[in-house]
């Protein structure tokens, strides 16, 4: 039975939640920027104060005990409240940098970040990160290693999304990247029906981008379009070009995509497929940088008509059945 101590040090709760998230003391210590021995001492101290064992530790794994499982939601709520309190009275030069995952240098997230830096909050330190997919970034958000990311929020596991906040930002038109010598490259826009019999790369097999692969699978279904077989995550522009060129894949992409030598980007049509993009962050996060990003997204959305849906457009499920992007 847990013995409640009304004066538990929040640092101990932060140590506990880090180990509960990672189920690994070394990784949790690295996340908190502390020595593993110090982290272990904090966990032992918390267990003494509560009068309960919180983890089962073996040489092969770390797991939560029943008491640890019971403590976890209370610890999260207590830390969220402390973070909100600290943020409410923080600001100025001492404000910590905000880590913003924009997925790629050319992306909706990159545009929002640039707008926030230039015009909304130039004094706030917004540090860019580049994760390949929202599914992978969501794990980093929940672990506290990222603050904000962008992507298809409703492509996430509902249990994961329930622990995050999100705001609609844009309907991105979907495009295809193909070689300059491909017969379809001469078209200004490519009807989906013209892709029948083609094989497109859509990051299948990459666990960090499952929300994108799911969208692709829905788009290809019943249209005779094949998805490239699972392939290890491709890291870096040069390696991406090498693999795609060698395998002669077409690539499912969005309208904002990096320029790659020997390729052209063509928007898809008939119908116009859309990728719903939201800004996503950890519940309870308070930071002036978050306010700046929300304001920047609102400004760009208004001027660029980012939330306008073209006639006869296509959306994946569940967005299609819910009427599109929603808060």
> Which DSSP helix (H) or strand (E) runs through 55?
strand 55-57
Alpha helix stretches (DSSP H) within the chain:
10-22, 25-32, 36-50, 66-88, 108-115, 134-143, 158-161, 210-220, 237-247, 288-304
Based on the domain organization, do 32 and 52 belong to the same domain? Answer: yes
pLDDT in tens, 20-56: 988 999 888 877 778 889 899 999 999 999 999 999 9
State residue 109's pLDDT score: 96
State residue 201's pLDDT score: 94
Q: What is the rounded distance in angstroms from the CA atom of residue 98 to the CA atom of residue 94?
A: 12
Based on the domain organization, do 305 and 289 belong to the same domain? Answer: yes
Based on the domain organization, do 44 and 188 belong to the same domain? Answer: no
Q: What CATH number does residue 206 fall under? A: 3.40.190.10
Q: What CATH number does residue 57 fall under? A: 1.10.10.10
Assigned domain for 202 exists = yes
* pLDDT range class, residue 2, cuts 50, 70, 90: low
pLDDT in tens, 158-178: 989 998 999 999 999 999 999
Range of the domain at 68: 10-88
Based on the domain organization, do 211 and 266 belong to the same domain? Answer: yes
Assigned domain for 323 exists = no
Assigned domain for 115 exists = yes
Based on the domain organization, do 132 and 191 belong to the same domain? Answer: no
State residue 56's pLDDT score: 94
* pLDDT range class, residue 327, cuts 50, 70, 90: very low
pLDDT in tens, 209-235: 999 999 999 999 999 999 999 888 777
Based on the domain organization, do 125 and 195 belong to the same domain? Answer: no
Last residue of a domain, one of 245, 273, 301: 273
Based on the domain organization, do 155 and 280 belong to the same domain? Answer: yes
Angle between helices 10-22 and 66-88 (to 10 degrees): 120
Assigned domain for 317 exists = no
Last residue of a domain, one of 42, 69, 88: 88
Based on the domain organization, do 289 and 162 belong to the same domain? Answer: yes
Based on the domain organization, do 176 and 256 belong to the same domain? Answer: yes
Based on the domain organization, do 240 and 111 belong to the same domain? Answer: no
pLDDT in tens, 52-90: 999 999 888 999 999 999 999 999 888 888 776 765 555
∠ CA 300-304-310, rounded to 5°: 135
Q: What percent of the chain has pLDDT over 90?
A: 60
Q: What is the rounded distance in angstroms from the CA atom of residue 15 to the CA atom of residue 43?
A: 7
pLDDT in tens, 106-150: 899 999 999 999 888 888 889 999 887 999 999 889 888 899 999
Assigned domain for 264 exists = yes
Query: Per the structure, how many domains does the chain have?
Result: 3
Q: Tell if the pTM clears 0.85, that is, is over it.
A: no
State residue 236's pLDDT score: 73
* pLDDT range class, residue 93, cuts 50, 70, 90: very low
pLDDT in tens, 267-286: 999 999 999 999 999 888 88
C-beta of residue 68 within 8 angstroms of C-beta of residue 37: no
Residue 94 burial by CB count (10 A; 0-12/13-18/19+): exposed, middle or buried? exposed
Half-sphere exposure of 174 (CA within 13 A, CB side): 27
Based on the domain organization, do 267 and 287 belong to the same domain? Answer: no
State residue 211's pLDDT score: 96
State residue 95's pLDDT score: 66
End-to-end Cα distance, the chain? 40
């Amino acid at each position: 039975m847990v013995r409640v101590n009304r004066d538990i040090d929040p640092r101990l709760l932060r140590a506990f939640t880090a180990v509960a998230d990672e189920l690994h003391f070394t990784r949790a210590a690295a996340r908190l920027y502390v020595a593993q021995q110090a982290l272990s001492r904090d966990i032992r101290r918390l267990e003494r104060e509560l009068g309960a064992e919180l983890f089962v530790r073996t040489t092969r794994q770390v797991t939560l005990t029943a008491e640890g499982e019971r403590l976890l939601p209370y610890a999260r709520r207590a830390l969220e409240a402390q973070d909100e309190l600290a943020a409410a009275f923080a600001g100025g030069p001492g404000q910590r940098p905000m880590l913003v995952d924009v997925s790629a240098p050319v992306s909706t997230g990159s545009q929002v970040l640039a707008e926030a830096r230039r015009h909304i909050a130039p004094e706030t330190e917004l540090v860019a990160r580049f994760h390949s997919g929202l599914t992978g970034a969501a794990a980093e958000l929940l672990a506290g290693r990222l603050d904000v990311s962008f992507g298809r929020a409703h492509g996430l596991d509902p249990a994961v999304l329930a622990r995050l906040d999100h705001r609609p930002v844009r309907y991105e038109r979907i495009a295809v990247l193909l070689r300059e010598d491909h017969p379809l490259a001469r078209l200004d826009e490519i009807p989906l029906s013209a892709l029948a019999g083609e094989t497109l790369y859509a990051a299948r097999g990459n666990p960090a981008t499952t929300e994108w692969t799911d969208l692709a699978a829905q788009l290809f279904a019943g249209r005779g379009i094949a998805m490239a077989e699972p392939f290890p995550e491709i890291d870096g522009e040069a390696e991406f070009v090498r693999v795609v060129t060698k395998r002669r894949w077409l690539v499912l992409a969005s309208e904002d995509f990096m320029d790659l030598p020997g390729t052209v980007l063509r928007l898809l049509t008939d119908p116009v497929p859309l990728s719903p993009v939201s800004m996503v962050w950890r519940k309870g996060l308070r930071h002036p940088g978050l306010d700046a990003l929300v304001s920047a997204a609102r400004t760009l959305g208004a001027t660029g008509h980012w939330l306008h849906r073209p006639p006869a457009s296509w959306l994946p499920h569940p967005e299609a059945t819910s009427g599109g992007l929603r808060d």
